[in-house]
Structure 1
Amino acid sequence: MVKMSLIFSLFVGLLMVGLVSSAKFDDLYQTSWAFNHVQYDGDTLKLNLDNYSGAGFASKSKYLFGKVSIQIKLVGGDSAGTVTAFYMSSDGPNHNEFDFEFLGNTTGEPYLVQTNVYVNGVGNREQRLDLWFDPTKEFHTYSLLWNQRQVVFLVDETPIRVHTNLEHKGIPFPKDQAMGVYSSIWNADDWATQGGRVKTDWSHAPFVASYKGFEIDACECPASVAGADNAKKCSSSAEKRFWWDEPTLSELNVHQSHQLMWVRANHLIYDYCTDTSRFPAIPTECVHHRH
């Protein structure tokens, strides 16, 4: 019994390493464009969008596997036409990418969150949902958990989407390209709100997205290291164990599975897997994905 207790304590310790530590923006990120549309307010960073420019920031390093979280308070009031994005992406035409895109709306209408997954340069895996809270009133935490078994999109630790590794079914999975972490705000009124029917009202500018709680607990990959070497470096072996490779993180637990079912039943608005006009033949991964 003592031995089991010790193993459990070590296991919990592995899982918790780094998760509770929050870093300042400057430790992890740098502004990537429109420096004059970025402002600091204590521990809060703000990105501004007006009819001259949006703004964005990027992580200083790239990562392979782990968890990335940011707290965001989205643009309040009439945000129609605007998009605030939080995403991870590798470089090049055959890149991998995990997207949160927050689609603004007219006052009183709910924000929509669009997620997407690109593998080897191929996306077209959009899902859209509304949220069970007003994301403009308070900060909420948006996270990406990524390991060799799954990619999990989380909102306040509630899973809203899972992309499972189905390589055994011949379906590619993003597991060998290190990704940077990015966020930006820009004008996308050609498609963002009601399919582009509602345009941005610039009389309400500047549109401001606020950020804090910058956390990255992931395997950092030097730019000079080849993809295969990074994959080896960031995978557990007999000599080292990474928390993201623990068996409990290879799939959702029962509680998380119930949470995801609740989200899909009550808040999912669009799923590419059921869009027969775009995909007359159901995409292969949709046949096998449980979620």
Structure 2
Amino acid sequence: MSVSAPVRRSGGAYSPAARHRRQTLIAWGFAAPFVVLFLVFLAGPIVSSLLMSFTDMTTRDLRNPLAVDFVGFENYVTLFTDQKFLRALQNTVVFVVFGVPLTMGLALLLALALNTGITRFRTVFRVGYYAPVVTSIVAIAIVWRFILQPDGLLNVFLGWFGVQGPDWLQSTGWAMPSLILMAVWRNIGTLMVIFLAALQGVPREQHEAAMVDGAGVLARFRYVTLPELRPAMLFAAVITGIGFLQFFEEPFVMTRGGPLDSTLSSAFFTFNQFGFGNYAYAAASSYVLFLVIVLLTLLQFRLLRRKD
């Protein structure tokens, strides 16, 4: 006596549609823990802070947060009449405008040297330049604070040549350049590795063809290497720009935003407002910084994206 196999009907338990629904439910079951954590600890606070930026919530409203008043765009309007915030935004722009190109330029030079000119101890150089990236930013800031003191290592070195160094972190003219220098030194390793990987991916045949056509070193770099590096340069510019726009640890540890707010950043301003209990005002400040990050990223994509 033979037993016939079950018939797979279009709407039955063995249909492709039923199997797809079952697989979808299983997938959502595995993804559910992450989705819940994302909604509770990330998406929820983001939406809450955005709504809070349109209210007048302060410390006194913590016991009854639903009783706050809706003020619309008043916090945002006040921000752009607040001289301290405008100074912090200006400092942040200066930090990005000078820091990002300098970091990318030096990283590219190091990557070119490691890719072509330096053959011995190449791994040692890579590790040495990358070491600051994996070191705690607070530890780095403390070390640099001692280096830049009036009797610190830098002024001692300058004294050997008869140069009287300033009090770097207490000078309104030198405090910001000092922070930029430290940030460049710390972030250069990441971009160097990215550029080095991109350089090693440039087809050697293109360089050989350009050499046959009589192209020199600079011409090959401009017309062969740079076009191939555009994706890497775009990625490097985006991640470095976002990081530099959010700089906080450097002024927090080294200068406390001084002297005379010359190193006060937008992130540090937001941190201070939260500390003062101006929660809605701080939320508005953070979303202004978020908008600046979005605009800068869009600009970088427009300028550096690969043109085929």
Query: Normalized against structure 1, the TM-score is what?
Result: 0.22
Higher helix share: 2
Higher strand share: 1
Query: Normalized against structure 2, the TM-score is what?
Result: 0.21
The structure whose Rg is larger is 2
